[in-house]
Amino acid sequence: MERFSANKRNAWMGWTLLLLAIFVGTPALVFGAAAYEGKVLTIVVGYKPGGGYDRYARLAAKYLPKHLPGNPAVVVQNMPGANSIISANHLYGVAKPDGLTIGTFNNGLATAQLTKVAGVQYDLTKFAWIGSLASDAVILTIRSDLPYKTVDDMRKAKEIVIGTTGPGSSTHDFPSILKEFVGFNFKLVPGYSSSADVMLAIERKEVDGRAGSYDSIKPFIDRGLVRPLIRSRTASPGIETLPVDEDLAKDAKGKAIMVVASASTKIYRPYVAPPGTPADVIKLLRDAFAAMAKDKEFLAEAKKTKLSIDFTPAEESLKVVREVLNQPPEMAQEIGKYIKFGE
């Protein structure tokens, strides 16, 4: 009973706040001093509401005010399209570098820049980086009722059917690189409308396995539907001991491509400010993100809502980006063959 009244009170407070927000929300002013007092900080998200990028941003919007001087209001704006290239271009060329706009976009945008995808206007190295809130392990899983328990079992297999959502997603690129550079007999079946759809195809035995983000496959591993077999270099608790794709590569070229493909998984939820944002403001933002990532309440809520947190500071994030972008042109071309960037 007590619990309910607390909930109810919260709910009512929420409603009141919403109404208040409608009528007295403060307009964003031009940023002058270093403090955020009375300002509104906007987080631009490159995807529609409800997805992973959006949920991280909304969680951050809730806890950031606490860690910024002057406790500004933080709001989330969704700017979907072209797998977040639209939002990245906006942050790069349109948004004012006044510290009142920051943004988050696809972690694979570095690959898009490297392979010179049409429409890319941004240069990732020129953004004022804040850091990344999470990392992500990409894994390959196979249906548990199949006899493949190790990498060697898989090598011997005549054919393993992997369902994917199409070139440009880790569900496709990860197994396609493994097929090419490790030599598995994979048959890739692209065209599923979402990774959830691939999961259903596994359930009806239309396909034998799928690759993708560990976070999203974990419930199905726990339920015993699939078993994980290979991971990319970024590990997550629980799958540290899985074989890593780079160690399986037949040659140096394959290994190099795998490195580039998985580099950006270290910065799974990147946050940047527009290029030219003043250094003192950037410092405030970086400190706030770092402090938030250690905030116990923040971590507890993240855990409850199944958003894993693994903070990577700005310097390190930028290093990851440079590692991807500093490939020689001929290598870039090779990579473009196996890693597509797209919706």
**Coil, helix or strand at residue 85:** helix
Environment class of 312 (CB within 10 Å of its CB; exposed 0-12, middle 13-18, buried 19+): buried
CB of 150 to other proteins, least distance (A): 25
Q: Alpha helices, DSSP H only, in 204-278? A: 214-222, 245-248, 252-263
The residues of the shown chain that bind other proteins, judged by CB under 8 A, are 3-4, 7-8, 10-11, 14, 18, 21-23, 25, 42, 44, 48-51, 54-55, 58, 62, 75-83, 85-86, 89, 118-119, 161, 163, 165-168, 187, 189-193, 196-197, 199-201, 203-204, 206-207, 219-220, 222-223, 225, 301, 304-306, 340, 342-343
CA 115 to centroid of chain Cα atoms: 19
CB of 42 to other proteins, least distance (A): 7
**Coil, helix or strand at residue 36:** coil
Of the candidates 264, 331, 228, 301, the residue with the CA atom closest to the CA atom of residue 62: 301
CB of 89 to other proteins, least distance (A): 8
Identify which of residues 42 and 262 has a Cβ nearer to other proteins in the complex: 42
Identify which of residues 42 and 107 has a Cβ nearer to other proteins in the complex: 42
Identify which of residues 92 and 314 has a Cβ nearer to other proteins in the complex: 92
Q: What is the rounded CA–CA span in Å between residue 215 and residue 237?
A: 11
Question: What's the start-to-end Cα distance of the chain, in Å?
Answer: 47
Identify which of residues 225 and 244 has a Cβ nearer to other proteins in the complex: 225
CB of 215 to other proteins, least distance (A): 11
CB of 297 to other proteins, least distance (A): 12
Q: At residue 233, what are phi and psi to the nearest 5 degrees? A: -65, -30
- Count the helix, strand and coil residues of the chain and give each as a percent rounded to the nearest 5: 50, 15, 35
Identify which of residues 100 and 314 has a Cβ nearer to other proteins in the complex: 100
Identify which of residues 28 and 320 has a Cβ nearer to other proteins in the complex: 28
Q: What is the rounded CA–CA span in Å between residue 231 and residue 261?
A: 12
CB of 31 to other proteins, least distance (A): 15
Identify which of residues 247 and 343 has a Cβ nearer to other proteins in the complex: 343
CB of 204 to other proteins, least distance (A): 4
CB of 183 to other proteins, least distance (A): 20
Identify which of residues 220 and 312 has a Cβ nearer to other proteins in the complex: 220
CB of 22 to other proteins, least distance (A): 4
Beta strand segments in the chain, E: 40-45, 73-78, 101-104, 128-132, 138-143, 160-164, 186-190, 209-213, 226-231, 270-273, 312-313
Vertex 137: Cα angle to 136 and 141 (nearest 5): 135
Query: Do 270 and 97 meet the contact criterion of CB atoms below 8 Å apart?
Result: no
Directed axis angle between helix 279-294 and helix 296-304, to 10°? 60
Identify which of residues 226 and 249 has a Cβ nearer to other proteins in the complex: 226
